[in-house]
Chain A
Amino acid sequence: MTPVVDLFLAMMKEEWRIHSTVFGGIWFGLFPAVIAVFAFIGSLALPIFSEAVPCTTVALLALIFFLLAGVMVGSFGLMGREFMNRRFGQASLIAYASRSLPVSEQRIFATFLVKDTIYYILLYVLPFTVGFAAATPLISLDPGYILLAFVSLTLAFLIGLSAVCFLSTLYARSVGLLAGALVALAVIVLAALPLGAATVFPPYSFLLAPGIEPLALSLLFILVPATVSVLFVTADYPDRTKRFRNSFDPLADMLRPLGSEHFIAKDALDLLRSEGGAGKVVFSFLLPVGLIWACLGILVRFTPGIDPLMIFAVLLGVISATIYNWLTEFDSFSSYTFLPVEVSRVIDGKLKSYALLSLLPVVLIVVVAAASSGAGAILPALAVFMPVSAYTLAVTVYLTGLHPNVMLYHAGVFARYVLATSPALLLIIFASIIDPRYVYGSLLLLLPAAFLLHRGRGKWQAWEMPGY
């Protein structure tokens, strides 16, 4: 066997073992099955939605979703070392091991990319396609769409993945270079948007009209950034050992009236100083929220009955709950086990940090409501956003404790999360369509939210400190 094949197989094993160690082999093995089931159910619903939304729009949304999945996988693979170190101690993944293996950085990185491509196609794209394929006979869809869906979803996923690899290579060389590339990318995308998604986004044009040209263009969008990132990859990151004056005490003093001030101050510094920093707010929050608002703009053209602001408030509530994931990303209870600290106190601190950070989505919903529908829309939008955000957060805390970033990949936990949140959210959306005044009913979600938070504290106290 050649060294590259050995390397590839070792990386595949490593990726599997990381996931199966964290989530348990069987439960992680079931994750693709859960994706297939949800894809199957979603595909069965296509004829119902097609009354209101054209299938091409649904397909575009699915492709955008997989593009973002590629971006997320790439970001974690390349910038997740801090997270891995917190989770596993000093992580020494093969991808970071060019100094200890007789293999060049380029070869390791190229193998890493191939591994990510195959691993995550097997984990995400293939199960999604299987679910879709299982539904096609039941919704009388041409089976030819199965292969078409698989290819176009794979292309969208890989464009996201290779774009992030390219950007990370720039980041390793110079932060300024990365900033320049991001600005250039934003300008190009904004300038190209009026041309329409079918022109700008080759996987979508391939899905609409399969042919050599969109396929070649998609491959170009994948291979050029990936090749450049492999050729210019470097493991010699500039020395970024930063020094900071004591910001902890002034911050904690300021937060003292809230209680748990030391935990909140620590969370704030974790967020500000971790890799990504403010970029996290842009890429994990503002960008998806902006995309959702744009998608709702498309949706409303086909479904005149809906109130895009209410749907936006619901989705913003769900997305804002992921702020909790940021807050727990670099924290682990193992940092506190030798100190006089109970898990419930750490969770309380996270909840207070969450409440403070929620000012960002609150300001956003107020601005969007006022700008899109006038000042009168602010109160109903807030009445939807705040309970949805609190309820989704409470479900997350109850199901995942201090580990949302890993536990939501556990098939059973993920299924329970979807089942606990989606009926309530769909009910609010449908209620808002029937009568806008019904949205105030979403305030009732605050009751199960309070109950779940109370139960979650006790549950995770027992889990992290078994027997006490």
Chain B
Amino acid sequence: MHHMIEAEGLTKNYGSVTAVNGVSLNVAEGELFGLLGPNGSGKTTMIRMLTGQVRPTSGSARVMGLDVVENPIRIREVVGIIPEQETPPSFLTAEEYLRFVARIRNLDGIDERCERWFDLLEFPDKRDVLCKDLSRGTRQKLMFAQAFLHEPRLVLIDEPLINLDPIMQRKVKDFLRGYVRDGGTVFLSTHILGIAEEICDRIGIIHNGRLLYTGPVDDLTGSGRHLESFFLDLVRGDAGG
């Protein structure tokens, strides 16, 4: 099985605080992997390490065969990333922002790519509005579009649905499943268990920086357990020491 993400003993310390503590995991090609955890459990730091935004304190990781410490820019060239905070530049319009990203990524066929995403995420009427004037939901759609603009084989998403309305949430979930069916790979982090239960192939549960569990979602649901009760038992058990 070809792994798109391979992490071994990945650790990140911020001063005396250990945000991620010796996490080892693999994500296979064509898999939709969900990293679940409460707020502050280390999910965002994990994504930032895997995408070369934060250097690990120890451990190693390879993303699409590239070492995250040696090739941080190259990794960001080949993968798509949707950060937790949507931060498109204030004074470009939605369309201009996509064109800006397309130029950074040296993409051709910009017109077609933009049209496709405006239509898919249903915001063509917002294409000429400044990013600062867009609603948070529309800004998140824009961040979604920028991450998929270069048609990457792997996308890492931090809290994918948090600002979207239920209709758009459904659409994005369907899109992600379709993307994985077509051979793409998704690594998403979330604290909304319903998303993971519904669309993920496999999950990891992280708490206080430590990976407590990895396994297929079907193993849980097939055994009649609810993800929520499993998650709460695991996290409470870990907190209880």
**A303, CB-defined interface residue at 8 Å:** no
**A15, CB-defined interface residue at 8 Å:** no
Q: How far is the CA of A85 from the CA of B81 in the complex (A)?
A: 22
**B151, CB-defined interface residue at 8 Å:** no
Tell me what chain A mostly uses at the interface: helix, strand, loop, or mixed.
loop
Q: How far is the CA of A465 from the CA of B91 in the complex (A)?
A: 25
**Contact at A89–B100, with CB atoms within 8 Å?**
no
Residues of B within 8 A of A248 (CB): 92-93, 96, 99-100
For chain B, the count of residues having a C-beta within 8 Å of the partner chain is 38
Tell me the residues in window 70-126 of chain B with beta carbons closer than 8 Å to chain A beta carbons.
Answer: 72-74, 76-77, 81-83, 85, 87-93, 95-96, 99-101, 103-105, 110
Given A274-B91, A338-B51, A339-B101, also A244-B130 (CB < 8 A): yes
**Contact at B132–A465, with CB atoms within 8 Å?**
no
**Contact at B77–A340, with CB atoms within 8 Å?**
yes
Of all chain A residues, the one with the shortest Cβ separation from B158 is: A338
**Contact at B87–A335, with CB atoms within 8 Å?**
yes
Select the residue from B72, B73, B90 with max chain A CB neighbours within 10 A. Answer: B90
Given A340-B77, A467-B55, also A330-B91 (CB < 8 A): yes
CB within 8 A of B128: which of A245, A252, A466?
A245
Tell me the residues in window 418-468 of chain A with beta carbons closer than 8 Å to chain B beta carbons.
Answer: 465-468
Residues of B within 8 A of A334 (CB): 85, 87
Q: How far is the CA of A338 from the CA of B144 in the complex (A)?
A: 12
Residues of A within 8 A of B95 (CB): 246
Given A338-B51, A338-B76, also A244-B90 (CB < 8 A): no
* Min CB–CB distance B70 → chain A (angstroms): 9
**B209, CB-defined interface residue at 8 Å:** no
Q: How far is the CA of A231 from the CA of B230 in the complex (A)?
A: 58
Of all chain A residues, the one with the shortest Cβ separation from B106 is: A340
**Contact at B52–A468, with CB atoms within 8 Å?**
yes
* Min CB–CB distance B110 → chain A (angstroms): 8
**B24, CB-defined interface residue at 8 Å:** no
**Contact at B104–A262, with CB atoms within 8 Å?**
yes
**B129, CB-defined interface residue at 8 Å:** yes
**Contact at A246–B96, with CB atoms within 8 Å?**
yes
Q: Mark A335-378, 1 if CB is under 8 A from B, else 0.
A: 10111111000000000000000000000000000000000000
**B228, CB-defined interface residue at 8 Å:** no
**Contact at B76–A340, with CB atoms within 8 Å?**
yes
- 4 nearest A-B residue pairs (beta carbon): A467-B55, A248-B96, A338-B81, A262-B103
19 A-B pairs with CB atoms under 8 Å apart are A241-B133, A243-B93, A244-B96, A246-B93, A248-B93, A248-B96, A249-B99, A269-B91, A270-B89, A274-B90, A330-B89, A334-B85, A337-B83, A338-B51, A339-B101, A340-B76, A465-B53, A467-B55, A468-B69
Chain A residues at the B interface, C-beta cutoff of 8 Å: 82, 85-86, 89, 241-249, 252, 261-262, 265-266, 269-270, 272-274, 330-332, 334-335, 337-342, 465-468
